[in-house]
Chain A
Amino acid sequence: MTTVFNKIHRLKQQPGWTWDHFLTEIDKCSTAGVDEKTLYSHYREPHKKPNGHLEKLINQLHDDCFPNPFPEDLNRLMRLYNHLFNCKKHMAKEKDIQDLEFFLQHQSQREDDSLRVSRLHWLLGNIGFDRIPLYRDNGMREQLALCKQQAINHYQKSVSAIESHNQQSAQTAVGASHLYKARHNILACYLNAVPQASRAKDADIIDYLKASNYIAMSRQTLDAEPFQWTIARNGLRFSSLLENEADVKYFFKALVLISQRFLSLDYEPLNHGAIGDGDDFQWAIENVLTSDYLASVKAATEKKGKGKCA
């Protein structure tokens, strides 16, 4: 899910969006508005959790400026599923999800419109995706393998439908960021299906990483949107799993550029653990992100900061 941090950055990097203009746009959405300091701190700090009011306003502004290319009814259905999945008190949750899945499978076969087909498969992929940790943590290998493969197949069908749409109607082409997201989900299926301690040696993950060109795609996406710390963090994770020193350095510097707080490996951005605590980052920590290297990056960043001030 795109964080408020990313959305504020994406909005801010539009031409003409000074802080004054940003606040004016917010005032148009709500009479209560937002305090300038609050907005700015959410722009600077990846760990800050927004309150409901700010989140609602930023989401509204973001949707206005960057409309989602998929049909609104299916976006809302996806939101409904997310609420259902995250609801801890819902009785017979899995049964209701199975009913929804049954409907989606039938609906996806009836649709002709590529974007509708894509979004239906995306949602089916999400349902399989969300089951992966349950089967993994309960040692249900057969079910795990099946739901992982089903989720991957659905995401791949979603990607194919987007590509087909983009070929047919260049004017309403779906942006590269959505294709990146769907491919990210495929890789996440491979990764999440394996317990953390075994990921570095898992042939399926390593093979898919190499075949999918994920690192190169992440670099491209970061070039376009350098504020996306989740992409930089995942890039660092997979560079570590691939034991690639140059990529580890690239993604770590990208994180520090977003916030110097990442210089501390104990730093916990919103909804994510510290890099220092993650098994997936162990190779990078032991071989690249040494205390000497961290000190050198810190010195270089401070020097750059002083250069800007002067």
Chain B
Amino acid sequence: MKKIRSLIVLSTISILLLIGGCATVPDVNERESVFSPEPSSAQSIGISEPEELKAEGLRLEDSGSEVDSHGVEPSADGLFKKSDQQSDDMERLD
């Protein structure tokens, strides 16, 4: 009986957690729908990306660097992620 009771408790907690997880998704969508214009309409009328989102994009890409957070110098750490060496660059010799 004890085992069955604990199973019921566990499954109830899991269902509650699942519902809680799903409930956060609309928040994100809602935020996106408020801040980001439709890409096609924004491009067609020449509206630039909102400053807040631009700043957030930079923070996400360069989050590892102290210098970046002060906005003094762009970090090459972010660039490492963005740049793949061209297939036909000359390799260096040691």
A→B interface (CB under 8 Å):
1-2, 78, 82, 91-95, 122, 126, 129-131, 133-135, 137-138, 140, 181-182, 184-185, 187-188, 191-192, 195-196, 230, 234, 237, 271-273, 277-280
Bound Cα distance A130, B65 (Å): 19
Cα separation A95 to B68 with both chains bound (whole Å): 11
CB distance from A270 to the nearest CB of B (A): 11
Q: 1/0 per position for B71-85, CB-CB distance to A under 8 A?
A: 000111101101111
Q: Does B41 contact A (CB under 8 A)?
A: no
B90 shortest CB reach to chain A, Å: 4
Q: Is the CB of A134 within 8 A of B83?
A: yes
27 A–B pairs (Cβ distance < 8 Å), ordered by A: A91-B64, A93-B76, A94-B77, A94-B80, A95-B65, A95-B75, A126-B94, A131-B76, A133-B89, A134-B76, A134-B79, A134-B80, A137-B79, A137-B82, A137-B83, A138-B79, A138-B82, A181-B93, A185-B93, A188-B90, A191-B89, A191-B90, A195-B86, A196-B86, A196-B88, A273-B87, A279-B88
B27 to chain A, nearest CB (A): 30
Q: B90 near A126 (CB under 8 angstroms)?
A: no
Is residue B92 contacting chain A, with contact meaning CB distance below 8 A? yes
Q: Is the interface of A mostly helix, strand, loop or mixed?
A: helix
Contact yes or no, A78 B90, CB < 8 A = no
Q: A91-B64, A92-B64, A133-B86 are in contact. Are A184 and B93 (CB under 8 A)?
A: yes
Point out the residue from B66, B86, B92 that lies within 8 Å of A185, measured CB to CB. Answer: B92
Chain A residue nearest to B77 in the complex (CB): A94
- Please state if B94 and A181 are interface contacts (CB–CB under 8 Å): yes
Tell me whether B91 is interfacial, beta carbon within 8 Å. Answer: yes
Q: How far is the CA of A138 from the CA of B83 in the complex (A)?
A: 7
Q: Is the CB of B94 within 8 A of A82?
A: yes
* Inter-chain contact B92/A129, CB cutoff 8 Å: yes
**Who on chain B is nearest to A279 by CB?**
B88
Query: Whose C-beta in chain B lies nearest to the C-beta of A94?
Result: B76
Which residues from chain B contact A279 at a C-beta distance below 8 Å?
88
Chain B 35-94 interface residues, beta-carbon cutoff 8 Å to A: 64-67, 74-77, 79-80, 82-94
Residues of chain B at the chain A interface (Cβ within 8 Å):
64-67, 74-77, 79-80, 82-94
- With A94-B76, A134-B80 already in contact, the answer to whether A234 and B93 are too (CB < 8 A) is no
Are B94 and A93 in contact, CB atoms less than 8 angstroms apart?
no
Residues of A within 8 A of B91 (CB): 1, 188, 230, 271
**Could you tell me the distance between the alpha carbons of A184 and B28 in the complex, rounded to whole angstroms?**
52
Q: Is the CB of A234 within 8 A of B76?
A: no
| With contact pairs A94-B80, A134-B80 given, residues A184 and B90 touching in the complex (Cβ less than 8 Å) | yes
Of A133, A182, A272, chain B has the most CB atoms within 10 Å of the CB of A133
| Given A134-B82, A137-B84, A195-B86, 4 extra CB contacts under 8 A | A134-B76, A272-B87, A277-B88, A280-B88
Instruction: Say yes or no: B92 contacts A126, CB within 8 Å.
Output: yes
In Å, the complex CA distance between A2 and B90 comes to 13
Q: Which residues of A contact B75 (CB under 8 A)?
A: 94-95
10 smallest CB-CB distances across A and B, nearest first, come from A188-B90, A181-B93, A94-B76, A137-B83, A134-B79, A273-B87, A278-B88, A134-B83, A192-B89, A94-B77
Kindly list chain B residues whose C-beta atoms are within 8 Å of the C-beta of A95.
Answer: 65-67, 75, 77
> Which residues of A lie under 8 Å from residue B85 when comparing CB positions?
133
Which residue among B74, B79, B90, B91 has the maximum number of chain A CB atoms within 10 Å of its CB? B90
Interface centre among A95, A122, A130, A182 (most CB of B within 10 A): A95
Given contacts A138-B82, A138-B83, contact A78 B94 (CB under 8 A): yes
Q: What are the residues of chain B within 8 A of A134 when measuring CB–CB?
A: 76, 79-80, 82-83
> By the criterion CB–CB under 8 Å, are A277 and B87 in contact?
yes
Provide the residues of chain A in CB contact with B79, threshold 8 Å. Answer: 94, 134-135, 137-138
